[in-house]
Amino acid sequence: MPRLDALLHEIRFRPRWRALLALLAITATCFAFRPGPGVAPGFTGADKIEHLLAFGAMACTGALGFSTLWPVAASLLGYGVFIEVVQLWIPGREASVADVLADAAGIALGFALVSALRHRWPPR
């Protein structure tokens, strides 16, 4: 558990990590409990932005909790494909390869954000 202890120490004593986790929690909550069909119904790319931000938030959380990123990336991408396949059988929904690509871009951006923060503020 030394990795978990180090992570909890970072979160407890480093405000930047608390701020990042708060941002992730807010982002996830906004997308999980949004009332309408999208961020901006008139904007055609709103769905892709939602996928990008939601998977970016999950990737940041995964990157903070695990030292090896490829299992996190594979799991998140698998989840993205899974939810698109399930939508094939839900009336009024449609599966989209573009959504999976937005998921992948969000995962990459989430990992890049955590990497940049670690580079900028390395653990002591």
Tell me which amino acid residue 52 is.
Answer: L
Between 40 and 119, whose confidence is greater? 119
CA-closest candidate to residue 46, choices 98, 94, 81: 98
Task: Check residues 28 and 67 and name the one with the higher pLDDT.
Answer: 67
Q: What is the pLDDT of residues 33-81, one digit of tens each?
A: 555 554 445 556 778 888 888 898 888 888 877 778 898 899 999 999 9
Residues 32/34/22/73 CA torsion (nearest 10 deg): 40
pTM, full prediction: 0.69
In terms of DSSP H, where are the helices of 66-96?
A: 70-86
